[in-house]
């Protein structure tokens, strides 16, 4: 087929948006928007990479206001606009797919991606138009500092974030309602049975009974392991949404009062207490969500790729429970440089419990690797390649984080490029995104009704550019951090130029990788198909692969 034909109609005419049901469309819509936001985040990243080499390069033009407003929206666009959308889309499809039940509500699923999209754009505009730039950390009283920022910009930003959180709560509601609905295979289950399975308690009881020589508690758990991981991670998503919303309300009260001519005293809120509360919630996004969702996704991908049962499944179930509890108790590692923070809190929560993540994540890595190994020989498919890439990402990023979560190292690493490069960017770009790409390739035929991938060569180029670019960028930023380069600072005299140039080259590879991926997807589904995804679907079914009688 010709190039123009594929561009308009998709590769070999194999993608037909009219054949998609409501669930497939809701999923694909969020996926498309997610990748557009990823591109925006990558562009912002490149602008910052360029500015860190030469601040007077446009569009920053040597303006710190501009630079930090980009830095403020970058994680909002990247984390919420892109990864949240992608993860939520995948899970809204997977929960019905895995439980063989219809999704609770397609309307709510659509509301989720629309709210997150509008919220992200609003926050982005607040920074773009008004240069509102308190960074995502919102350290009190900075977000309410109207001597530096216009109140209107702040209101817009916070309302945007609030919309994202409302969309998140709707996602959670949809997932819970689907998991606990007593239809299909769960027709005869009680809520108690589903809850016990959801929290992994059956896994623990099975282990306990095995050790004491009793019969297993349940041979067939009510919920499959990936569903348990999704359910468990969603508990953290719920808590973090509440914390971020509460912080947002606080900031809004101050900003609105200011606009109404009333000056509220910022000192009446304790800055350190606020930091603790905020990080407790924000950390659930990172240490809670990423680790639980990602572990769950690895298990799912390993079982789907090999077509076999997960190795040590009961241990995995129990470990997910452990990870949940650990994720609630580790936030203090963000306050190791705060001398007002009680030392005991730093020592126990910040150091010791945090170090436990090495164990839970190591366990997930081990279980995934052994599951793959037992199914040898495997074909090196795209999804397997990306899964291995994801494992490398977390293999690198988790220890990098643990090094930082150490009272001795933190003294010289806190707020340096080490944390944002070697830990955060490698965790997200290499660890999380490669895992998500693996899921995209696994789900591709299911969600698109077997659309043909336009080019495997492009897919491979994307893989290598993304992997090398991601690791390289994080590594060079990390090395600059070891040399004292701060993460939230614009340098004007080319202080760390060698590392910044190297990391910008790797950043460019990431951007090119994304362009190749986007191009490949557009050529696969065609422009007509791409638009069709956003048109209402004729088939209102909200499930996949189930006979209507069952649903």
Partner 1 sequence: MTFLNSLELLAFHNVAYTIYALLIIAIIAWFGYNLTRKEVAKPLVRIPFYVFIAFLVAAGVGHHIFTYNVVPWVAQDIMRESIKPDQVYKVVIEKHQFQLPSEKLVVECGQKILFDVTSKDLVYGFGLFRKNGTMVTQMQVNPGSKNTILWTFHDEGVFDLMSTEYSGPKGNGMFVPNIMEVRGCKTTLSQGGSK
Q: What is the smallest separation between the CB atom of 334 and Cu ion, expressed in angstroms?
A: 6
């949240």: which residue's tokens?
Answer: 84
CB of 401 to Cu ion, least distance (A): 7
Whose Cβ is closer to Cu ion: residue 225's or residue 397's?
A: 397
Say if CB 471 and CB 405 are below 8 A apart.
no
Residue number with the smallest Cβ distance to Cu ion = 283
Query: Would you count residue 65 as binding partner 1 (CB under 8 A)?
Result: yes
SS3 546: coil
Picked from partner 1, Cu ion, none, the partner binding residue 39 (CB below 5 to 8 A depending on kind) is: none
Residues 75-134 that bind partner 1 (CB under 8 A): 131, 133-134
Q: Which stretch binds partner 1 (CB under 8 A): 43-51, 91-99, 247-255, 363-371?
A: 363-371
DSSP H or E stretch at residue 98: helix 85-99
Count other Cβ atoms within 10 Å, centred on residue 344: 10
**Any contact of residue 498 with partner 1 (CB under 8 A)?**
no
Q: For partner 1, how many residues bind (rule: CB under 8 A)?
A: 79
Cα 238 to Cα 174: distance, rounded to the nearest angstrom: 12
Decide whether 5 or 374 has the Cβ nearer to partner 1: 374
Residue 485 interface partner, choices partner 1, Cu ion, none, CB cut-off 5-8 Å depending on type: partner 1
Query: Encoding tokens for residue 242?
Result: 């509440």
Per-residue binding string, partner 1, 169-208, x by CB under 8 A, is: ----------------------------------------
User: Measured from the CB of residue 76, what is the shortest distance to Cu ion in angstroms?
Assistant: 18
Looking at the Cβ atoms of 46 and 135, the one nearer to Cu ion is 135
Asked if 70 is part of the footprint of partner 1 (rule: CB under 8 A), the reply reads no
Residue of 73, 76, 175, 402 that binds partner 1 (CB under 8 A): 402
Q: Which is nearer to Cu ion, 283 or 323 (CB)?
A: 283
Which of Cu ion, partner 1, none does residue 193 bind to, with CB < 5 to 8 Å depending on kind?
A: none
State both tokens at 430: 């290499």
Of 169 and 355, nearer to partner 1 (C-beta) is: 355
| Cβ closest to Cu ion, residue 41 vs residue 286 | 286
Q: Which tokens hold the place of 169?
A: 């709560």
391 binds, among partner 1, Cu ion, none (CB under 5 to 8 A by kind): partner 1
Q: Does 51 bind partner 1 (CB under 8 A)?
A: no
Q: How far is the CB of 326 from Cu ion (least distance, A)?
A: 11
- Choose from partner 1, Cu ion, none: what does 402 bind? Cβ within 5-8 Å by kind: partner 1
User: Is 154 or 288 the residue whose CB approaches Cu ion more closely?
Assistant: 288
Contact between 235 and partner 1 (CB under 8 A)? no
Minimum separation from the CB atom of position 89 to partner 1 (A): 27
Q: Taking phi first (over 0 means left), then psi (-120 to 50 degrees means alpha), and beta for anything else, what does residue 29 get?
A: alpha
Q: How far is the CB of 267 from partner 1 (least distance, A)?
A: 6
Residue 264 is a binding residue for partner 1 (CB under 8 A): no
Within 10 angstroms of residue 84's Cβ, the number of other Cβ atoms is 25
318-328 burial: b if 16+ Cβ within 10 Å, else e: bbbbebbebbb
For 129, the 3-state DSSP assignment is helix
| List 192, 219, 263, 376, residue binding partner 1 (CB under 8 A) | 376
Who's near 18: CB < 8 A, 6+ residues apart?
532, 538
287 contact, one of Cu ion, partner 1, none, CB 5-8 Å limit per kind: Cu ion
Phi and psi, residue 425, nearest 5°: -70, -35
Please report where in the chains the tokens 């990306």 appear, as a residue.
386
- For tokens 């108690």, the residue is 192
Residues 6+ apart with CB under 8 A from 381: 305, 441
**Residue window 126-165: x/- pattern of binding to partner 1, with contact defined by CB under 8 A:** -----x-xxx-x-xxxx--x--xx----------------
The smaller minimum CB distance to partner 1, of residues 228 and 422, is found at: 422
For residue 465, how many C-alpha atoms fall within 13 Å in the half-sphere facing its CB? 18
Binding site for Cu ion (CB under 5 A): 283, 286-287
391 in contact with partner 1 (CB under 8 A): yes
Given 392, 427, 458, 509, the residue binding partner 1 (CB under 8 A): 392
Give Cα 509 to chain centroid, integer Å.
21
> Under rule CB under 8 A, which residues in 318-337 are in contact with partner 1?
335, 337
Which residue, among 297, 439, 319, has the nearest Cα to 368 in the 3D structure? 297
State the minimum distance, in angstroms, from the CB of residue 362 to Cu ion: 17
Q: Please identify which residue in 7, 36, 64, 264 interacts with partner 1, judged by CB under 8 A.
A: 64
Cα separation, 241 vs 123, in Å, equals 16
| Six-digit token string for 322 | 């452990």
- Confirm if 438 and 387 have CB atoms less than 8 A apart: yes
Q: What is the DSSP letter of 418?
A: I
We find the least distance from the C-beta atom of residue 419 to partner 1, in angstroms, to be 12
The reply to whether omega before 59 is within 30° of 0 (cis) is: yes
Which one, 486 or 511, has the nearer CB to partner 1?
A: 486
Please give the structure tokens belonging to residue 247: 């912080």
Residue 114 gets the label, from left (phi > 0), alpha (psi -120 to 50) or beta, of alpha
Q: Which does 283 bind (CB under 5 to 8 A by kind): partner 1, Cu ion, none?
A: Cu ion
The DSSP-derived string for 224-286 is -HHHHHHHHHHHHHHHHHHHHHHHHHHHHHHHHHHHTT----GGGS-HHHHHHHHHHHHHIII
- Select from partner 1, Cu ion, none the partner in contact with residue 377, using the beta carbon and a kind-dependent cut-off of 5 to 8 Å: partner 1
Residue 21 C-beta-side C-alpha neighbours within 13 Å: 15
Residue 13 Rama label (left phi>0; alpha psi -120 to 50; beta): left
Contact call for residues 46 and 503 (beta carbons, < 8 A): no
DSSP letter, residue 21: B
Interface pattern 404-423 for partner 1 (x via CB under 8 A):
--xxxx-xx-xxx-----x-
């Amino acid at each position: 087929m010709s190039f123009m034909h594929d561009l308009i109609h998709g590769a070999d005419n194999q993608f037909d948006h009219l054949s998609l049901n409501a669930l497939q469309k809701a999923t694909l819509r969020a996926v498309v928007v997610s990748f557009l936001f990823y591109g925006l985040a990558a562009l912002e990243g490149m602008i910052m990479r360029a500015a860190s080499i030469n601040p007077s390069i446009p569009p920053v033009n040597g303006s710190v206001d501009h630079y930090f407003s980009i830095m403020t929206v970058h994680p909002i666009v990247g984390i919420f606009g892109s990864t949240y959308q992608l993860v939520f889309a995948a899970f809204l499809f997977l929960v019905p797919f895995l439980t063989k039940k219809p999704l609770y509500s397609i309307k709510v699923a659509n509301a989720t991606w629309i709210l997150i999209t509008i919220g992200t754009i609003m926050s982005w505009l607040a920074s773009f138009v008004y240069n509102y730039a308190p960074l995502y950390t919102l350290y009190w009283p900075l977000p309410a500092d109207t001597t530096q920022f216009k109140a209107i910009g702040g209101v817009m930003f916070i309302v945007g974030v609030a919309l994202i959180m409302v969309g998140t709560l709707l996602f959670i509601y949809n997932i819970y309602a689907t998991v606990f609905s007593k239809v299909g295979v769960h027709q005869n289950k009680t809520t108690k049975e589903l809850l016990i399975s959801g929290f992994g308690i059956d896994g623990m009881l099975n282990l306990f009974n095995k050790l004491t020589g009793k019969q297993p508690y349940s041979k067939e758990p009510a919920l499959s392991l990936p569903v348990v991981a999704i359910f468990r991670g969603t508990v953290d998503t719920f808590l973090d949404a509440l914390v971020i919303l509460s912080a947002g309300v606080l900031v809004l009260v101050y900003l609105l009062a200011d606009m109404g001519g009333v000056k509220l005293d910022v000192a009446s809120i304790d800055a350190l207490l606020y930091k603790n509360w905020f990080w407790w919630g924000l950390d659930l996004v990172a240490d809670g969500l990423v680790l639980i969702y990602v572990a769950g996704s690895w298990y799912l991908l390993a079982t789907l790729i090999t077509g076999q049962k997960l190795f040590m499944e009961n241990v995995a179930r129990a470990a997910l429970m452990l990870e949940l509890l650990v994720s609630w108790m580790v936030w203090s590692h963000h306050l190791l440089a705060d001398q007002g923070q009680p030392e005991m809190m730093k020592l126990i929560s910040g150091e010791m419990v945090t170090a436990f993540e090495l164990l839970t994540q190591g366990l997930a890595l081990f279980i995934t690797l052994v599951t793959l190994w037992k199914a040898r020989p495997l074909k090196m498919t795209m999804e397997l390649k990306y899964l291995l890439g994801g494992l490398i990402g977390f293999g690198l990023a988790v220890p990098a984080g643990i090094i930082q979560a150490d009272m001795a190292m933190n003294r010289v690493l806190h707020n340096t490029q080490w944390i944002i490069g070697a830990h955060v960017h490698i965790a997200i770009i290499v660890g999380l995104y490669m895992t998500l790409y693996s899921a995209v390739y696994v789900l591709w035929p299911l969600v698109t009704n077997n659309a043909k991938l336009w080019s495997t060569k492009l897919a491979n180029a994307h893989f290598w550019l993304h992997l090398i670019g991601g690791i390289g960028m994080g590594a060079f930023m990390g090395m600059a951090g070891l040399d004292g380069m701060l993460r939230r600072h614009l340098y004007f005299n080319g202080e760390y130029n060698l590392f910044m140039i190297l990391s910008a080259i790797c950043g460019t590879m990431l951007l090119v990788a994304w362009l190749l991926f986007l191009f490949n997807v557009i050529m696969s589904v065609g422009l007509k198909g791409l638009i069709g995804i956003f048109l209402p679907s004729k088939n209102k079914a909200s499930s996949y692969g189930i006979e209507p009688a069952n649903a």
